[in-house]
Structure 1
Amino acid sequence: MSGRFRPRPGRVMQGYKFALDPNAGQEQALHSHCGAARAAYNWAVSWVTASWRQRKAEATYGIGEDELTSWRPWSLPALRKEFNRIKTTDPRFAEWWRENSKEAYNTGLANVAAAFDNYAKSKQGKRKGARVGVPRRKLKRKARLACRFTTGTIRIELDGRHVTLPRLGTIRTHEPTAKLLARVQGGTARILSATVRHERGRWFVSFQVEMVREITRVHQPDAAVGIDLGVTHLAVLADSSGETRYEPNPRHLDGALKLLRFHSRRVSRRQGPDRRTGRKPSKRWEKANDERNKIHHRVANLRTDALHKLTTRVRAEYGSVVVEDLNVAGMLRNKRLARHVADAGFGEIRRQLVYKGQRNACPTIVANRWYPSSKTCSACGTVKAKLPLHVRVFTCDACGLVLDRDENAARNLVALAAACTTGTGVAGDQDTSGVSKPRGADRKTRRQRPGRGGRAGGASLSHQRWEEAGDRCRDAEAQLALW
């Protein structure tokens, strides 16, 4: 492949994903490489944790700390060195390790090193999010098939319909690769790595590319839009010019439920696998299961396509986008809304808006999770104390505004675009002076009067009284000091 990569300012990392159409031999080789990555992963986990179990056993015999078995390192260079030492003599690898590329084993070892690092940082409190447990061995029936190539022959063929990977050879792609091929030949892109993965019933290859990407100017760079996500409507968009647009919810899963029930009943009537007795599935069960999986894959593809079209359209039009920091994990615990929330893809919408905004050098403002966008009147700023979820029309008791609940929330979100970002770095955070509350704490919205504290509503009445009392005390102290 000709074309030399010319480094320029504005280089970004981007992924290109293509579906593959391997033949029978290539598909077997893909399974072998992914299985080799899983075998290397399991060996590394067992090798590292063996020293932990040994030290724990020795401690029960009263052996001193200095005499215990030394800890085995989990860094990638150390794992590589030990694996290269034992791969020719260990019966688990000696007979077949030469059949696969070295990158397959390196994939498993690199994943182990990252997993132990995440575990150590989480235990030390240096990693955000939920606690990460000790890495465990991967089961063959549950492990995701994936393998990453960083060295060797990795290229896009000149015909635009084939890719070449180390030890796997040239594999036909299901779709043309002309866009990436043109960039590589033009010298504006350089392929760094390739990852093959089996998902949704077929094989895919993803190229990690370092490329020069020009910033695309949006249609309204000075305009902002607030996006309120929901189930009735997928998104309600209110821009700074006062225009409101409703994006319908496609409900792809709901449209396929009837067909899924039919195929699920067909699968349940046939002889499936049984782990307890070791029974193998029948051919008719496998055929029926494949037909059911095709429906799930189609729903997932339709959802992905719809979300990409929505986020691309929004990012190509507005300069600033305001979204909410939704507690999606908490919503999924609601048994009445879980299926609809999962089908909408709230988290994926926010992720795409953020990275697509970075391409155009446009900011994405994330409103605080506790910001009362639905309870605040977009006209006068009065904040309701309570607004149940079943109340879909917002009615202001102060100014008499009657508006759709989601449209009112979208208008409040777009108003945050002009506001200053608070000390926490999150728009709409009205309480930054106190001690931050733990995740999951309940912040109740207090009733607020209009005209105090800005457009979105002022401080609560009790807070205002405390401030007035403090002012009186300071005045009295000043008078005493002068006297």
Structure 2
Amino acid sequence: MFALGPSDVQVAGLRRNTGAARFVYNHMLRRVSAVKAQRAAEASYGVAEADLTPWQGWSLPDLRRTWNEIKTWVAPWWAHCSKEAFNTGLANLSAALGNWHASRTGARKGRRMGWPRTRLAQQFTTVVVEDLHVAGMVRNPRLARALIDAAPATLRRHLGYKTGWYGSVLYVADRWYPSSKTCSGCQTVKPKLSLAERTFNCATCGLSLDRDINAARNLAGLVRHVDLELPGDAKTGRGAYVRPVRPAPAGRAAGREASRPVHPVNAARQRTAANRESRLLTER
């Protein structure tokens, strides 16, 4: 038998590349889903086939072509990851969508497959997002295109009811919590931090790391000591509010997936999750 013994640098590289594969899978799945929904809406209004929003193909070459066109502004960090990581995520998505289509048309035997989904709410017991002022952010022409394509409001809505399905909990950090400006090491808050500064450097304790990782650690810290079974708003010792989001009952959430029955919440699993490292998603 053989066992891997990667160094700290190699572990960081493995995490970075596996994260890149998951990112491109989720991002392109949301893109294909959005185009599919848009075309269906346009068709319901009587729009002619020739005038519908152009279809997003899901063959590997089609997905790769689109990704190469948008990666610079969707994932400005892409050059720090192996291109094979992105190719793996795209290949997995292409296979998943291909299997779905084959199942729908009867070309694939076995149980009928549903539309592929992102796995965040299913994999992690605690998910944290920020209550960002998206309407104001899209006024910035440099951010508008990326924000509209990422559809953060749709992602948050999906997380709202999917966390209920799988017995996990979604927390929303207060809009005014300075997650990016706060040092995750010493909690010193910077008075200013421009969008151009992609690395957070703390003048107090000397911490230096990617600004998004710094913000993610701060958001994880917000719910680390929150009792997951307390209803309503919960306040941490850091002075920022996080509120648990109650999922919509089956049949009231928007979309076809709303008909799926809500799974009972596993309270024991939630109590255990409070003592674990909180996992999170930052909308930005």
TM bracket (short chain): 0.3 to 0.5
Higher share of residues assigned strand: 1
Q: TM (normalized to structure 2)?
A: 0.45
**Higher Cα Rg, which structure:** 1
Q: TM (normalized to structure 1)?
A: 0.27
Which one has more relative contact order, counting CA pairs under 8 Å at least 6 apart? 2
